[in-house]
Structure 1
């Protein structure tokens, strides 16, 4: 079976987008997604995203398979790419399109802006340990600056769910982190029963921080949208940053706001089409 696709990236976090509007289940298996994501023998991507029919009065549904075949609840850079893909499928101008998209993390609302970027209402962060989930503290408490032993060292971490689980630790120099070595140990730590995305954050100022990320199911990526959102929330909770900040990732910057009015997190960043093809 031939699969038509379009490849997009959000700050280098790259995805294979598939028009899946004719059926409510993904047209390929997780095993096929692994083959498509292979950077040597396939197309190459951090994941495969499917645009499915909407559920519960939403415009569309988003499903995603990571490059290892696992299925995350949501992906921040991915949903921006999906919004751009939907505008292309619909043949619109991509100037101010707005969508409600059903995901496993709830309803997300991306909107294409007039300057070509995508702003996404990511919803309210979930802060209780039981919502992450993590066993670092009782389930009805916030996991803020909790100690954890990883790679022979004690780290202080703050955990946030943006519909998917994140563990944030603040460091003096993100470039010095041995991410390929430490990331998998965080991801598979027994304190995180559903595994974890891990963000290492260097605060530059009240409105700017640098971030490197190890993504659950994908490993080292150039950007992580939900991770940038979780990082800002963690920085606010620990008194390190204001509620609006630029998060600098290896692939480029994201603008993140944790609104003091409605407590929702808003993410703004690019989504770029790379090429189309048939696999």
Structure 2
């Protein structure tokens, strides 16, 4: 008789679901919201089909970059509780299949943007893809505790890509949107890194809490939080937005810094993870308020 082996949930999971998981759909959905806001702020708003092509191309390329991240980090993921169940970490998918899927998503996304939107957006998307999948994941992540700061440029690109997909040109406004996400990324991710410090240390990843300690990292979350607050006020300062945005972003910033303050004080061990999750809602809120302000002004006019 053959030995009966337990059938795990992972073993029953369809391949297509693992392929979707490689693309980090929750992360990409946040990126697409920021891209959509960039599109709608650029004005004039393009036809729906062109917006759909832009979002599809950006989403496919972002999913491809995320899949490359899984490929490069497959051994590291297996060492960390947060990522140990990923398809490549558990070997549910083969590396060649994942690499082929990542390449297909990336090439299709960039190609769609080049043909259906404009070459500028395609090239910027390709640069962002290379920056995240190769420069950050394969090099910076393992080389320096400033990996999040330096690599944050690639992750800050979505609103710029949305803007250029409509306007086909660069300008100070979309670059300011990039700056907002760039400033927000360190307090957002370092809060998670504090929570996962032991896992990063076991995996040998030089995240800031590992190399400089929790107290220093908590201070950086606090200081970069204030930098984020300052940057989010710039749209009002330069006349890109009005009073609706100023009021809305002030409320969001107050709550954002309340959480960052709890992280900085270090009295609540649950604060870093809670601050991390709130920061995702925060950045979405900033962009939604920016959009509401822009279109409320048009309606009143």
Fold match (TM-score > 0.5): no
Query: Which protein has the bigger helix share?
Result: 2
Query: Which protein has the bigger strand share?
Result: 1
- TM-score (ref. length: structure 2): 0.27
- Pick the structure with greater CA Rg: 2
- TM-score (ref. length: structure 1): 0.29
